[in-house]
Structure 1
Amino acid sequence: MGKLGCNIDGNLDDTKFSQPMPWIGLYVAAASLAFLIAMAADVIQGIRYRKFWFPCKFSSLNATSLTLLAVAIKLSVDLNTSMPSRQDQLAKLSNTVFICTVMSNSMPSLGTMENKEMFTNILALGILVITVIVNICIQLATGVIYVFWKEHALILFIMLVLLLLLSFSALTVPNTKQYLELKYTKKHQLALKEGLNQTRKPVVDKLREDLMKYWMMAHTGNPQFVVGRSVTCTASGAFCLLSLATLAQAMVRSQFMPWSFKFCSGESVYKWSTTLVLATQTIAAGVGSIGPACRWFIAINFSRPKRGNQTGRNEFKVENYWIQSLVEMKESPLTFLPFHNKLCRKLAHDAKDYFLNLCIGVQIGLVLMSKGIRLISTLFVSRILYCYDCCRGLKKLIFKSVSNTESVSDSQPYSKLDLSRFVLDLEGEDALVEKMKKCNWDPTDYWFQMGEKRRPKYLITLLKRSTHGFKGVVEFDSNRIPSLESEEPPNCWALPVVTLTCIAVTLPNIGPTLIEELLCSVNEGLTYIRLLENNLDTIKELLNIRRAAEGVWVRVELYRKWLDVDLHKLSLQGKTQQEILQKLSDNAKNKLLEFHRNHTPQCLKHGPLKWPIKILAANSMYRITQSMLLTRQSGNAQMGEKLFETVAVMISDILGACLTNMQRFISMKCLSSAIEEREDSVRHAIDILGKAEKILKFQEHGESPGLDPCQMASIDEWRLFYMQKPLPFNPSPSQIETASSSSSDLYLIID
């Protein structure tokens, strides 16, 4: 028997070397499939959010995508494996086309990168592309690739041009971000000034108009959109389509014109996997070309109206921001040189100047080439667009009488708002402003309507029980309760709501429908409380208390348990309301006492903010149940058999008081985000406004305390204000109905 790796004769046994190759091909197909899914997800998301320039979120250029790309192009860099059949040679070609598609599709993602990240990603991509180009040339010379050599030569040229477009477009991103940020500040001041003059408008209408302005600024200033609408990205889209067309014609010719090719007989060591790789990468190239093609088409559509009025000189003008960073680098001296010899330093500076002059020339050439491609594309595609415009005009003329009789929609006044003055454009982008003004394209109405469809109906019903002034904010916790601690933890909005809900669930003789509706209402309300607390609590000191509320709520919603107490079982034990309150109070008190017995004073010196979440929940339960028991002992009729209604009103008051911060939250959502995230933040704010429209209208007619916006975000500030200035009792509408319906009857309540 021979040694391991050798046959009986002692020679190297290479018969098993090719056995795993089909599985390697399957691995390549899997990496290509991952890219296909990522690019398809970007297409779906772009259509869903009406971003038809298709930003890159899942298929952006980063370390993960570059690693997958290196795996997916394994066939292109395989120098010595024979690929005799038709599908083998097409798989080689699809590999190179796939690289072009990925490069063109991921180009807008340059706008989301920091300078250092951008440099490393472009450098890694450049090394990968140069390696592929060299390996393909070697395979063309050695005969591994023996057909489609013209197609390969064209794709390699496109690949090199796309790499240059990506690299030199990245140089403009930092400067354009700074310029757009300055322009956004000026437009923002204009929007604020206009907002101050609209104080008489309803809150919802004012917020909608403000969000339309902020969306236009965020959308046109989105770095991905800025890169996506640039002439270099337009050119990359054209090159991407050209590479896809090259692959398509090669596949069609090889299938339907077999006499024009002479393929070798035999089978590749990749066997059946090359067909799988070819199919996956062809589909991926088709899906990945949707984004570049749409950006190319949109750029043509933007430039079309001004084409007839521009001179050739203006059309082929290279704006300053294209070469600004290179000029700044050229003007900056080399300060860190490893040598002090004057001649050496002079040679280094001269070499730097020559290199940067070359880069400036290449950048100018790429921009001029891209503008030439855009102009040629506009000349051809504009005829199709003009025919489309004529068909639209004819359709409007035919259906003019029908459209005149249609009722005016609620969103029509908003669509008439001129948003062109809030467009953030770069030098030479006058066509963008004109196009935005002409088409008045604004998706905020669509997003608002999508939010309206998901309104919190249970929460809105619960908020109708609120009292004027939200007196439940004070009443849920009485100051007359003796404290078990030397220092009480502060309150957050969520924890008392969760604790009160636990009490309501435990009360006996309450219908399951009422319990379920209350749980649904609180669940919807906690979603908004979470948003408000996470965004308005800048100190973050209540983070542990909010975690306590989240932890308790999960067990209440899913298991009907408060910590280790089964609430449903407790409600079925036939006890009175007072006994249940006492049971919950004793359970919470025991947990607090046990906690203090097991911890030394040194462990407790950090204060209640560092307590475990179970102890914070127990402290809240103890104080609230004791407050209710104290109120019952004082003979308050509200704490009799109508305790469930009273607790629901308290929950409604706390939720209503918290949601008075919704207007401030929506406004802050548009201002506090970075330039890369601003558009998504505004879209989220519009969605929230659509959901909370009825809540804001309901609160607009109510009374709010005389607190500044920062104080209104804190429940303890509300309580302090009302304790200093007692709030008169104003019953909720539901309580008024209950009182009026029972005024003619006499009830004898026996506990």
Structure 2
Amino acid sequence: MSCRGWDFAQTTAPMPWVGVYIAAASLVCSLAMAADVFWAFRHKRLGFPCKFFTLNATTLTLLAVAMKLPVDLATPMRGRTDQFAKLAGTVFMSTAMGNFMPSLGSIDDKEIFMNITALGILIITLVVNVYIQLGTGAIYCDLVAEQTAVTFLMLLVFVILSFSAITVPATKRYLEQKYSEIHKIASGEDLKETGNLTVQKLKEDVRKYWMMAETSNPQFVVARSVTCSASGAICFLTALILVEAVLRMFLMFPRPFSNLGAFSEYKWSTFFIFVIQSIGVGVGTIAIAFRWFTAIKLKCSEKRGKSYKTEFKTEAYWIERLVEWKESAFTLQIRHQKFRKLVHKMKNLILDFCIRVQIGIVVMSKSVQFFSIFFISWFLTCCHYCMGFRKKSTSTASDNGRKLESPSESKHSPRQDISFYVLHLEGEEELPLQITKNNSDATDRLIQMGREKQPIYLKGLLEKSIGFKEVARFDNDQVPSLDSEEHPNSWTLPVVTLTSIAIALPNIENHMVDHLVHSVSEGLLYVSTVERMLDNRALKDVKNAADIVWLGVDLFGKWLGEDLRRMATEGKTSKETLEKLADIATENVMECKIKMKGAQKKNWLIKQVASNSMYRISKTILLDYEDCNDLTDERLFDRLSVMISDILGACLTNLPRVIIMKLFCSAIEKKGRECPTCS
């Protein structure tokens, strides 16, 4: 095609859909931030941890797409909506970085370096392009002040984020060491003695270890740091600048969004970008503001007793990593001595500069926190006064309520003092006084949640247990095994096999079968946790076979492709059904022995293990069936239910030990991810 035939309108036609693509990427980021806010409110987590919107390659890619308008130098954007969309994009980026901050604690050193480097490239590109547009007049004079301030603050947030990432390994090491020291004191008894645990002692252990896990959770440590508090204040300020600019636009122009797309190739799509990114700024600012407020509240202790010199001290862990790099040996092999000396001096100069910058960031962050405390302390004082007045006004009603309680309800065990188990860094000495009650209440809420969400179907099934007598009777040693290689029994596989047999029995009402399936489904959640924690590697193939078989039974009513419900309708007697299941299992094992070769060996092994279990259990039940002449279909179903109940009950006796093992978890990255009382 020649240049004369070039149609400029045709080349710019896809631009609105590019804008839709930008809006979609911004929407995904906004939804992820909203999900973090919702999860934190739902679980009452003060640190607002990053579970969905974290610093990773996916999020950075989405942000790179969302920043298309601020970095666009080639496309003319002369409309008011276009200009505000550029400003909203810059503020959106600053808000995203503020939300990233706690996630630094949950990623390792290599990922931190790679992600911070990628984020730095994006930020530098964004800053340079914005200032080029400011210099060329592409950004109108009406928004020059706001855009300049927001871009500078965004760059400042990135610097704080980068230097905060340097301190994460040092804080992890320190807290890991402190956790191990307190763990030795708290553990007391050996794991072998957990069989004598009482419920009250187990609750106390859960409270102690939950306190240790929560206060040493790296995300919460970063969230309550002074740098996170300072970055939150800066991001909150950028959001206020965007609000000020929008309000000024509405005051200056009666119809600010008229003539959408008249001055830009992105046309109407810039309005949607502006709206979505503005909403994202609002949603993201919620978590930032609450982290900021939480850090200030934790600092507002009744017994401060600190001098200003101590208050603005830079603790050792802030610069520990930089000092280690400075004192470490130089690894590059340079032959010329003068060049080695020059490189060594340059390294020391750069690291000395970084240390001074880190100290400056910490002092600045503490200054921001100090002034925040100064301005917000009066608000906290008013809240405490109102809460105290409310408690006094309701004291009479609560006293009357206590009189009406029964003696059993009024007797509560005294709350143990667990302030010793609060892990804090240097400079956080006031933390135990402020956080003990919050985390104790959080643990009590989790325990109460467990009481309120008990597995109803499983409880009904366990009531049929007759003391674990049937645990030793579901598999008779007189029945020969089809597999030459004996696999040990897990808890899950016999339960799944017995449930499959129960579903296939004829003349059983559907609601009874459905009730059993629901009960087993609830029980296997706990059984899987027990097996995973006990972690017997010899049971790996058995557990895999049980999981795959149960997936088919639970979802489709099929055992290894055999329709159990159809088998129940076609079968005349339970004896015929048991014989049919045993024959199918025999055929499967024979087929597995022939075809179990090469890459498909694992799949055939799973089928062989499941079929061998079905054969042995079916034959065992057939032996009992022949010994008992009056064993009807209903009575056999009830007996199978009792067997399942006994096996589940015997397995669940290991729960106290499993809870203690989960409490004794030592990897600090796992602290706070899951609670032993609710997992």
TM-score normalised by the chain length of structure 2: 0.92
> In 2, Cα distance between the equivalents of 1:647 and 1:19?
69
Contact 1:218 1:679 in 2 (8 A): yes
- Uncovered stretches (5+) of structure 2, i.e. residues with no partner: none
AA of the residue aligned to 1:650? M
Give the count of matched residue pairs: 671
Alpha-carbon shift at residue 594 of structure 1 (Å): 4.3
> In 2, Cα distance between the equivalents of 1:292 and 1:565?
54
Tell me which residue corresponds to 1:276. 272
- CA displacement 1:98-117 (0-9 Å, x = unmatched): 11111111111111111111
AA of the residue aligned to 2:434? K
Q: The residue matched to 1:455 in structure 2 has which SS?
A: coil
Contact 1:489 1:609 in 2 (8 A): no
> In 2, Cα distance between the equivalents of 1:13 and 1:574?
75
Tell me which residue corresponds to 1:206. 201
Tell me which residue corresponds to 2:25. 31
Contact 1:228 1:234 in 2 (8 A): yes
Most deviating of 201-210 and 81-90: 201-210
After superposition, where does 1:174-573 map in structure 2 within 5 Å? Answer: 174-193=169-188, 203-258=198-253, 267-305=263-301, 309-337=305-333, 339-407=334-402, 413=412, 416-437=415-436, 441-468=440-467, 470-539=468-537, 541-573=538-570
> In 1, Cα distance between the equivalents of 2:295 and 2:478?
69
AA of the residue aligned to 1:534? R
Contact 2:103 2:219 in 1 (8 A): yes
CA distance change for structure 1 residues 413 and 169 in 2, over 3 Å: closer, same or farther?
farther
Tell me which residue corresponds to 1:714. none
Tell me which residue corresponds to 1:126. 120
> In 2, Cα distance between the equivalents of 1:233 and 1:349?
33
AA of the residue aligned to 1:628? I
Contact 1:240 1:292 in 2 (8 A): yes
> In 1, Cα distance between the equivalents of 2:585 and 2:195?
50
Q: Which of 545, 568, 592 is the aligned partner of 2:589?
A: 592
> In 1, Cα distance between the equivalents of 2:304 and 2:202?
39
Most deviating of 413-422 and 227-236: 413-422
Tell me which residue corresponds to 2:50. 56
- Uncovered stretches (5+) of structure 1, i.e. residues with no partner: 689-751
Tell me which residue corresponds to 1:106. 100
Alpha-carbon shift at residue 268 of structure 1 (Å): 1.4
Alpha-carbon shift at residue 363 of structure 1 (Å): 0.7
Contact 1:628 1:639 in 2 (8 A): no
Alpha-carbon shift at residue 639 of structure 1 (Å): 8.4
Contact 2:573 2:633 in 1 (8 A): no
Tell me which residue corresponds to 2:575. 578
CA distance change for structure 1 residues 381 and 653 in 2, over 3 Å: closer, same or farther?
same
Contact 1:333 1:349 in 2 (8 A): no
- CA displacement 1:471-492 (0-9 Å, x = unmatched): 2222111111233443333222
After superposition, where does 1:64-213 map in structure 2 within 5 Å? Answer: 64-146=58-140, 147-193=142-188, 203-213=198-208
- CA displacement 1:342-383 (0-9 Å, x = unmatched): 222222121111111111111111111111111111110001
Q: The residue matched to 2:11 in structure 1 has which SS?
A: coil
- CA displacement 1:172-197 (0-9 Å, x = unmatched): 0001001100111112122212899x
> In 2, Cα distance between the equivalents of 1:526 and 1:576?
29
CA distance change for structure 1 residues 538 and 571 in 2, over 3 Å: closer, same or farther?
closer
Contact 1:548 1:617 in 2 (8 A): yes
Alpha-carbon shift at residue 553 of structure 1 (Å): 2.5
CA distance change for structure 1 residues 564 and 352 in 2, over 3 Å: closer, same or farther?
closer
> In 1, Cα distance between the equivalents of 2:284 and 2:634?
65
- CA displacement 1:158-178 (0-9 Å, x = unmatched): 112111101111110001001
After superposition, where does 1:673-688 map in structure 2 within 5 Å? Answer: 674-681=667-674, 683=675, 685-688=676-679
> In 2, Cα distance between the equivalents of 1:60 and 1:476?
49
Contact 1:411 1:445 in 2 (8 A): no
> In 2, Cα distance between the equivalents of 1:76 and 1:119?
25
Alpha-carbon shift at residue 41 of structure 1 (Å): 0.6
- CA displacement 1:410-429 (0-9 Å, x = unmatched): 79957822221111100000
> In 2, Cα distance between the equivalents of 1:626 and 1:496?
13
> In 2, Cα distance between the equivalents of 1:17 and 1:415?
75
What percentage of residue pairs aligned between the two structures are identical? 47
> In 2, Cα distance between the equivalents of 1:573 and 1:81?
72
Contact 1:244 1:285 in 2 (8 A): yes
Contact 2:571 2:577 in 1 (8 A): no
> In 1, Cα distance between the equivalents of 2:623 and 2:56?
62
CA distance change for structure 1 residues 348 and 583 in 2, over 3 Å: closer, same or farther?
closer
Question: Is residue 625 of structure 1 aligned with residue 593 of structure 2?
Answer: no
AA of the residue aligned to 1:678? K
> In 1, Cα distance between the equivalents of 2:351 and 2:414?
48
